[in-house]
Structure 1
Amino acid sequence: MINPRVTLDADSLGPVGQRLRKPLEDQLTSALQHATHTVEDHYTGESVPEVAQELLVETRGGLHPDIAAGFEPDGAQLTAVAAAIVEEHR
């Protein structure tokens, strides 16, 4: 089972973001982990880029619309999670 975590770069956050960093990381991590499990459960041989896109869509779907609109995960890290899902099903 894959359980990715989201961490935010404190240097890129403003004062409000820095105060909310931990709860926001927790919410983003929860949404990403739920998306990962959903995509894993429904995996039917899609490619890594397709799985990465599914992860992004599912993760955003689990967030408040305002948070989802601003959620831009690191593409390489999201691809790594997608690759782990694909590899797990080979």
Structure 2
Amino acid sequence: MTEPQITLDPHSLNPVEEKLRRPLEEQLTSALQAATEQTRQTYAGEPVEAVCRQLLERTREHLHPDIAAGFRPDHDQLLQVAQAIAAGR
């Protein structure tokens, strides 16, 4: 599995968010990648949905509280990352 990346939809952003899009994408991606590695290292056969919740919680832990509060990733995409972890990829 390649490292997960977060891309924000520019059509869903307000003007301020659009100006900050690239740094925000970098920060979100970095947090998700750190959470993915941490979850991969501690994976012990949990169900995929539990892994998905761990990814979300750990990603938020790596973010500024204000950004974490607004972080709403696509569940299906997060689930794909969780499935890859469960499959050992």
TM-score by length of 1: 0.96
Kindly tell me the number of residue pairs found equivalent between the two proteins.
Answer: 89
Q: CA 1:67–1:33 in 2, change beyond 3 Å: closer, same or farther?
A: same
The structure 1 segments of at least 4 consecutive aligned residues displaced by more than 2 Å after TM superposition are: none
- Distance in structure 2 (CA, Å) of the matches to 1:74 and 1:51: 15
Superposed counterparts of 1:15-54, under 5 Å: 15-54=15-54
How much has 1:15 moved relative to structure 2? 0.4
Q: Which residue of 1 aligns with 2:58?
A: 58
- Distance in structure 2 (CA, Å) of the matches to 1:86 and 1:52: 10
How much has 1:12 moved relative to structure 2? 0.2
Letter aligned with residue 48 of structure 2:
V
Contact 1:2–1:85 under 8 Å retained in 2: no
Q: Which residue of 2 aligns with 1:4?
A: 4
- Distance in structure 2 (CA, Å) of the matches to 1:42 and 1:14: 37
- Distance in structure 2 (CA, Å) of the matches to 1:44 and 1:84: 14
- Distance in structure 1 (CA, Å) of the matches to 2:57 and 2:2: 18
Give % identity: 55
TM-score by length of 2: 0.97
Unaligned runs of 5+ in 2: none
Unaligned runs of 5+ in 1: none
How much has 1:2 moved relative to structure 2? 4.4
What do you get for the CA RMSD once the two structures are aligned?
A: 1.0
- Distance in structure 2 (CA, Å) of the matches to 1:85 and 1:27: 21
- Distance in structure 2 (CA, Å) of the matches to 1:72 and 1:2: 21
